[in-house]
Chain A
Amino acid sequence: SAVISQKPSRDICQRGTSLTIQCQVDSQVTMMFWYRQQPGQSLTLIATANQGSEATYESGFVIDKFPISRPNLTFSTLTVSNMSPEDSSIYLCSARTGKTEAFFGQGTRLTVV
């Protein structure tokens, strides 16, 4: 298994600003992902964080709004840029070590005011 530390756990931000969320895994993992979970909804994949190269974004998500870094096999960041109240959500980092299990960080609860 893998232990994922995600921070901050929550934040309240002003619209128009940006927030960077960090995700640290305690072991090398093959894949890292970023999800968004809006109230009462399931998890929506934002992008796959690729080590040493640009992230792979899902439909509806773009790099300018959600820049992602993954400088090594254990660390990734997601930035939510130029925030608006619609970005208020829980953001979750996930990692997989193989084909069978995927683990999640504790999530970042973002409120944009």
Chain B
Amino acid sequence: GQNIDQPTEMTATEGAIVQINCTYQTSGFNGLFWYQQHAGEAPTFLSYNVLDGLEEKGRFSSFLSRSKGYSYLLLKELQMKDSASYLCAVIPGGGSYIPTFGRGTSLIVHP
């Protein structure tokens, strides 16, 4: 089966940096997504990693290590609006390319 682990909740201060970790154990690997989901809204796409290394996109960066089954999402210069749930999703091996989602990490940003 597939197993994806993320911390349940994190808190941080406005203007700070926070790193949200995701570890996975899947049958094969075809990529990893990060999504942001505000309460009562649909998930919105943040990043996609399929090769090892860091992908930077503005204040958000995502890192992947396939050998370690590990990824993190780095949020810089935190803003209050970054308070949301962050979902890690992995595409396992095989031809379906259907992502399996972790439970999500609820990030609370304090002033």
- Closest-by-CB residue of A relative to B33 is A102
Q: Is B101 an interface residue (CB 8 A)?
A: yes
Partner of A105, one of B42, B48, B50, B97: B42
Report yes or no: A96 in contact with B43, Cβ–Cβ below 8 A. no
Report yes or no: A100 in contact with B31, Cβ–Cβ below 8 A. yes
Instruction: Enumerate chain B residues within 8 angstroms of A102, measured Cβ to Cβ.
Output: 33, 45, 89, 99
Partner of A99, one of B40, B41, B97, B104: B97
Q: Is A80 an interface residue (CB 8 A)?
A: no
Bin the interface of chain B by size.
Answer: 20 to 34
Bin the interface of chain A by size.
Answer: 20 to 34
Please report whether the interface of chain A is mostly helix, strand, loop or mixed according to DSSP: strand
Instruction: Enumerate chain A residues within 8 angstroms of B101, measured Cβ to Cβ.
Output: 42-44
For chain B, residues 43 to 100, give those with C-beta under 8 angstroms from any C-beta of chain A.
Answer: 43-45, 48, 50, 87, 89, 91, 96-100
Q: Is A53 an interface residue (CB 8 A)?
A: no
Closest Cβ–Cβ distance, residue A93 to chain B (whole Å): 9
Instruction: Enumerate chain B residues within 8 angstroms of A105, measured Cβ to Cβ.
Output: 42
Report yes or no: B45 in contact with A109, Cβ–Cβ below 8 A. no
Report yes or no: A99 in contact with B87, Cβ–Cβ below 8 A. no
Q: Is A25 an interface residue (CB 8 A)?
A: no
Report yes or no: A43 in contact with B45, Cβ–Cβ below 8 A. no
Q: How far is the CA of A101 from the CA of B31 in the complex (A)?
A: 10
| 7 A-B pairs with the lowest CB-CB distances in the bound complex, closest first | A104-B42, A43-B101, A42-B103, A42-B101, A107-B42, A106-B42, A100-B48
Residues of A within 8 A of B (CB): 31, 33, 41-45, 48, 92, 96, 99-107, 109
